[in-house]
Amino acid sequence: MSRYPDFRIDNRWIGSLRGGKVPVDPHIPYGYFNEPERMSGGRVEEVTTILLTNQECPYRCLMCDLWKHTANETVPIGAIPIQIEYALSRLSSTKHIKLYNSGSFFDRNAIPFDDYKSIASLVSTYQTVVVESHTAFIGADTLFFNELIQNRLEVAMGLETIHPDVLPRLNKRMTLSDFRHAAGFLASEGISSRAFILLQPPFMSEVEGIEWAKRSMDFAFDAGVSTCVIIPVRAGNGSIDLLAREGYFTEPGLNALEEVLSYGIGLNAGRVFADLWDLDRFSACDRCISQRRERLQQMNLQQTILPEISCSCQE
């Protein structure tokens, strides 16, 4: 079997394999929670995350499942601030906030530009404001929003992988040069950035998945990001499931995530976090999953490589 399929992976193909969306309310965020995170200064502090309901991202990346909780239309002006108020009134107060919108904060069809001032005033007491964006949307609106919130901005961007044959097949329509340029632009404006890095995207074995996640982190830090988040790729969005059935994709195991996180922390180049959402699906052993989850959580918080958990499943 060839390493890559002979069909074209594009918007049409990815879209044709999607299932239905979850109904959303434009005035209610589809998720909100507080959780601890290690700050760049070394302290562990509570961070509020609000998963904003907004129009679906115009990109259709191969591995993305964020479209499931999105609207088909731009939400009305005023809806995003209402969502933020809704979440904040239900959470205890924190000093840091992430406004994640399943797309690009600086996409005006996603987050209406006319709402920037209201959003900025709602987050005025936070020390850090993290948003996410495709590199293509980073520019004048980013600087404008950064001014409004008085220079406390951090932008998370999907680097995904630097594998030269896999990145183009993710349909992200972003080059490494685009990423480097965006990270450099943010840094030159005093804006922090974090990179999302995929662990074992399609078309990679486990060994390759580990290797390319490490190299991708090297690239991200070299490009100027201050934080990397490792995201194990999972099935469930239609296209990834089809690639799995055809032998082009397998989900990574917990060992791979552990190895890549240890590598990243060992670089001492910035913060490195493992995304622990839905972690159990990557484990093949019920006996050690709780301890291994706890170890990864503590490594995220302490940014230290902790002793490995021993279990008969490793023998």
Which residues here bind Zn ion, judged by CB under 5 A? Answer: 285, 287-288, 311, 313
Answer positive or negative: Cα dihedral of 163, 256, 103, 15: positive
Cα–Cα dist 198/158, whole Å: 9
192 is written with which tokens? 């922090």
Cα Rg of the chain, angstroms:
19
122 membership: H or E segment, kind and range: helix 116-122
Does 111 help bind ligand SF4 (rule: CB under 6 A)? Answer: no
* Site map 91..110 versus ligand SF4, x via CB under 6 A: -----------xx-------
Cα–Cα dist 130/221, whole Å: 18
Neighbours of 302 (CB within 10 A): 13
Q: Which is nearer to ligand SF4, 85 or 178 (CB)?
A: 178
Among 38, 69, 98, 134, binds ligand SF4 (CB under 6 A): 134
Q: Choose from ligand SF4, Zn ion, none: what does 103 bind? Cβ within 5-8 Å by kind.
A: ligand SF4
Q: Which is nearer to ligand SF4, 74 or 262 (CB)?
A: 74
Q: Which is nearer to ligand SF4, 202 or 295 (CB)?
A: 202
Cα–Cα dist 250/215, whole Å: 20
Contact between 80 and 113 under an 8 Å Cβ cutoff? The reply is no
Report in angstroms how near the CB of residue 310 gets to ligand SF4 at its nearest.
36
Cα–Cα dist 197/241, whole Å: 20
Among 9, 47, 51, 61, binds ligand SF4 (CB under 6 A): 61
Hey, what amino acid is at 110?
Answer: A
Cα–Cα separations (whole angstroms), residue 228 to 210, 252, 255: 15, 18, 18
Q: Choose from Zn ion, ligand SF4, none: what does 102 bind? Cβ within 5-8 Å by kind.
A: ligand SF4
Q: Which is nearer to ligand SF4, 134 or 214 (CB)?
A: 134
Does 60 help bind ligand SF4 (rule: CB under 6 A)? Answer: yes
Q: Choose from ligand SF4, Zn ion, none: what does 288 bind? Cβ within 5-8 Å by kind.
A: Zn ion
Q: Which is nearer to ligand SF4, 54 or 226 (CB)?
A: 54
Q: Which is nearer to ligand SF4, 61 or 288 (CB)?
A: 61
DSSP calls for 279-300: GGGG-S-TTTHHHHHHHHHHHH
Does 264 help bind ligand SF4 (rule: CB under 6 A)? Answer: no
Q: Choose from Zn ion, ligand SF4, none: what does 204 bind? Cβ within 5-8 Å by kind.
A: none
List residues bridging with 153 in a β-sheet.
129
Report in angstroms how near the CB of residue 294 gets to ligand SF4 at its nearest.
29
Listed in sequence order, the residues at least 6 apart from 78 whose beta carbon sits closer than 8 Å to its beta carbon are 115, 118
Region of 44-52, 60-68, 72-80, 224-232 interacting with ligand SF4 (CB under 6 A): 60-68
- Given the rule CB under 6 A, which residues bind ligand SF4? 57, 59-61, 64, 66, 102-103, 134, 158, 172
